[in-house]
């Protein structure tokens, strides 16, 4: 009995020593940090009492005047870095991107293959897949899909007008309509399907898409655990995407591919490009062979095409329309910009014409600044990296966080950041700001492949 008590004491003392040693990591390096509490570090209550971006914004603001380019945090027992210096952020994204090529997202290729998409994958799998997918996002390929989007947009405008006419006081929930619009666009361009959620908001495709966001498989803390301890999470068979959602998208993709191949059907859409890569290892009309895609890879890419496009696009669209409603003078200026460009193209909306709507693009960018679709950008260090001007070396495997929301609301970079002002994106104003102070699509080699 005494021996057991002694062993328990030894184990307890050892654990206390290890925890204290771990939680002194930033202090020993002389890096400013937020004091942690065991066992959550600095994330106790995250996802319930506050969101991640609220934590990061508070840390960014509280340590902003500190001369250190970084701030230390703890996710459970793991020390993580918040990069708050604009030069360091730029170097992480561009000059020294080879040290931070991975996003550090969790995926489980064996138990949950749909999670192994281009956003999540680590290098070198990511680079191989990006090489295969890059030809599908050229200007020519996107232009090819333009009129598919245009057709859905026309139906959206017609439906919106009808709803406004019958709505009480002329008010409607625009986020709902924007979501139905983006669902139909992605369903058509990405999957070659006529979803028609504009008329039928409870269509199965839309319901599963909404569930992917509103009914996630894991809690916030489990997701953070999976990112912090990837190998252990995979051994525990933790999955990211719910099985019913995975099976639904697998079924849709397999049925669509089989139907087209059996009937010789071809369409100007993303799915057709995926089929070309599956069968030939290259895009029709391209001389470069980039390698074939498997059905699991096609399903995963189609899934992230939906996930990345649905929520971000509908949210960005809703905020833009909200700001137009709040700022009628901006709305009128954007309207005149559109009319002037349309006049050059015989009052027809064209792919080339949209690219000339400069003020409208400024409005979109200001909306993305004020309401970034991705408020936090992550990079994992894949080889040791010495931070200039400090004694700190980022170790291989450490997580670096770029607080995009906080940076895009920094009054020293964007005066009066809560004011909606598209003129911030005049060329001469953009030139005054740090390169990486606007990052709705990320930066560097791991920026969003669908940026165009």
Q: What is the pLDDT of residue 183?
A: 93
Residue closest to 60 by CA, chosen among 87, 40, 79, 32: 32
Per the CB < 8 A criterion, the answer to whether 138 and 290 are in contact is: no
Q: What is the pLDDT of residue 452?
A: 64
Q: What is the pLDDT of residue 1?
A: 65
pLDDT > 90 in the chain, percent:
65
Tens of pLDDT, residues 225-243: 888 888 999 999 999 999 9
* Comparison of pLDDT for 342 and 14, the residue scoring more: 342
How many domains are contained in the chain? 1
In this structure, is residue 385 part of a structural domain? yes
In this structure, is residue 328 part of a structural domain? no
Q: What is the pLDDT of residue 301?
A: 92
In this structure, is residue 212 part of a structural domain? no
**Residue 381, annotated as binding a ligand:** no
pTM: 0.90
The per-residue pLDDT of the chain, averaged, comes to 91
The range of the structural domain enclosing residue 58 comes to 23-100+376-452
Token representation of residue 290: 């980039």
In this structure, is residue 7 part of a structural domain? no
Upstream peptide bond of 58 is cis (omega within 30 degrees of 0)? no
In this structure, is residue 163 part of a structural domain? no
In this structure, is residue 280 part of a structural domain? no
386-to-77, 80, 88, 237 alpha-carbon distances in Å: 22, 15, 11, 35
- Per-residue b/e over 85-123, b at no fewer than 16 CB within 10 Å? bbebbbbbbeebeebbbbbbbbbbeeebbbbbbbbbbbb
| 212 has a pLDDT exceeding 90 | no
Q: What is the pLDDT of residue 9?
A: 78
In this structure, is residue 30 part of a structural domain? yes
| 2 has a pLDDT exceeding 80 | no
* Comparison of pLDDT for 305 and 15, the residue scoring more: 305
What string of DSSP letters covers 69-117?
Answer: SEEEEEETTEEEEEE--HHHHHHHHTTTGGGS-B-----BTTTBGGG-S
In this structure, is residue 370 part of a structural domain? no
- The residue whose two tokens read 């959602």 is 245
CATH number for the domain spanning 434: value is 3.30.43.20
Q: How many helices (H) and strands (E) does the chain have?
A: 19, 6
Least confident interval from 18-27, 115-124, 332-341, 398-407: 18-27
Q: What is the pLDDT of residue 58?
A: 94
**Quick check: helix, strand or coil at residue 141?**
helix
**Quick check: helix, strand or coil at residue 42?**
coil
**CA 4, CA 183: separation in Å to the nearest integer?**
61
Q: What is the pLDDT of residue 101?
A: 94
Per the CB < 8 A criterion, the answer to whether 76 and 40 are in contact is: yes
Q: What is the pLDDT of residue 316?
A: 93
Least confident interval from 5-9, 66-70, 390-394: 5-9
Least confident interval from 14-18, 74-78, 140-144, 306-310: 14-18
| 102 has a pLDDT exceeding 90 | yes
**CA 332, CA 322: separation in Å to the nearest integer?**
14
* pLDDT (average), residues 69-75: 95
- The residue whose two tokens read 């669509």 is 256
């Amino acid at each position: 009995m005494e021996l057991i008590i002694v062993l328990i004491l030894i184990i307890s003392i050892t654990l206390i020593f290890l925890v204290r040693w771990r939680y002194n990591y930033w202090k020993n390096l002389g890096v400013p940090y937020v004091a942690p509490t065991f066992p959550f570090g600095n994330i106790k209550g995250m996802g319930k009492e506050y969101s991640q971006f609220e934590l990061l914004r508070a840390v960014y603001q509280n340590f902003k005047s500190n001369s250190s380019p970084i701030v230390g945090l703890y996710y459970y027992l793991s020390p993580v870095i918040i990069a708050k210096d604009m030069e360091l952020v730029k170097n992480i994204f561009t000059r020294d991107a080879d040290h931070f090529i991975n996003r550090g997202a969790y995926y489980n290729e064996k138990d949950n293959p749909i999670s192994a998409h281009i956003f999540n994958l680590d290098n070198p799998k990511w680079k191989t897949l990006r090489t295969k997918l890059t030809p599908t996002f050229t200007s020519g390929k996107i232009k090819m899909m333009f009129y598919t989007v245009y057709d859905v947009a026309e139906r959206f405008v017609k439906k919106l007008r009808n709803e406004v006419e019958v709505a009480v006081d002329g008010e409607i929930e625009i986020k709902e309509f924007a979501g139905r619009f983006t669902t139909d666009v992605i369903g058509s361009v990405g999957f070659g399907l006529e979803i028609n959620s504009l008329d039928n908001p409870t269509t199965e495709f839309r319901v599963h898409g909404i569930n992917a966001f509103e009914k996630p498989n894991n809690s916030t803390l489990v997701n953070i655990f999976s990112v912090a301890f990837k190998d252990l999470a995979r051994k525990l068979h933790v999955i990211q995407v719910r099985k019913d959602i995975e099976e639904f998208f697998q079924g849709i993709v397999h049925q669509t591919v089989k139907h087209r191949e059996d009937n010789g059907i071809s369409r100007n859409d993303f799915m057709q490009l995926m089929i070309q890569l599956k069968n030939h290892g290259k895009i029709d009309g391209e001389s470069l062979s980039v390698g074939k895609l498997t059905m699991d890879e096609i399903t995963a890419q189609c899934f992230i095409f939906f996930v990345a496009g649905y929520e971000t696009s509908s949210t960005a669209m809703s905020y833009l329309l909200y700001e137009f409603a709040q700022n009628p003078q901006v709305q009128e200026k954007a309207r005149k910009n559109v009319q002037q460009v349309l006049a050059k193209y015989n009052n027809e909306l064209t792919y080339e014409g949209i690219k000339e709507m400069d003020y409208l693009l400024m409005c979109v960018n200001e909306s993305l600044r004020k309401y970034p679709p991705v408020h936090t950008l992550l990079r994992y260090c894949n080889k040791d990296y010495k931070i200039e001007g400090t004694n700190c070396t980022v170790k291989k495997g450490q997580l670096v966080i770029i607080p995009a929301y906080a940076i895009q609301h920094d009054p020293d970079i964007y005066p009066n950041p809560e004011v909606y002002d598209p003129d911030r994106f005049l060329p001469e104003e953009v030139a005054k700001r740090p390169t990486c102070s606007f990052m709705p699509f990320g930066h560097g080699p791991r920026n969003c492949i669908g940026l165009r």
